[in-house]
Amino acid sequence: MSSPTQYRKAAGIAVFNQDGKVFLGRRKGASGPYIWQLPQGGIDAGETPAEAALRELTEETGITPDLVTPIGEIEDWLYYDFPDTLTGSRMAKEFKGQQQKWFAYRFHGQDTQIDLTVHEQIEFSEWRWEHINHAVKLIVPFKRSVYERVAKEFSKFEK
């Protein structure tokens, strides 16, 4: 069997609260030191990257589009490769990695409006607000270069 050569198109979203901290979700069922991430997911057919980012945000956090305002976007697509340890996963069998478009939004709702259980497939088991530069240290290593770029581009929204 040949190795996949395509990257899966995906969108990621950094949601900042009024204190300038970013939403982090703990991946359900994950253990170890690198179990946190920002909401992200694949772009469905006919969907723009921005639409995908907002859909993923709602599915993974319960935060609806009316509770956020767009504040930034990274123009480039950011890429990461799946590590060899993921070769058994469905995603790694089909794709070499992901190419992601990243967006930043300001959350103007209440923490009580965050609900990790709204979607049938629960992605996160818990959540917290964190400084974006510290969030980079909590991400699985194979995604770290993408998160470093996200932090560099979006750290201005911590203010």
- Segments in the chain forming alpha helices (H): 49-61, 90-94, 132-135, 144-154
* pLDDT computed for residue 90 by the predictor: 66
Host H or E run for residue 104: strand 97-107
Looking at residue 80, its pLDDT comes to 93
Q: How far apart are CA 67 and CA 82, in angstroms?
A: 33
pLDDT for res 91: 66
Amino acid at 150: V
Q: What is the pLDDT of residue 3?
A: 58
- Among residues 2, 1, 8, 15, the alpha carbon closest in space to that of 95 is found at 8
Amino acid at 28: K
Separation CA 73–CA 151 (nearest Å): 12
Per-residue pLDDT tens for 63-109? Answer: 999 999 999 999 999 999 988 776 666 666 678 899 999 999 999 99
pLDDT for 1 equals 47
Domain ranges of the chain: 7-158
Q: What pLDDT score does 27 carry? A: 94
Residues 33, 30: Cα–Cα separation, whole Å: 9
Measured distance CA(76)–CA(92) in Å, rounded:
23
pTM of the model: 0.92
- Superfamily of chain region 7-158: Nucleoside Triphosphate Pyrophosphohydrolase (3.90.79.10)
* Ranges of residues in the chain whose predicted pLDDT is under 50: 1
DSSP 48-66: -HHHHHHHHHHHHH---GG
Contact 96, 149 (CB under 8 A): no
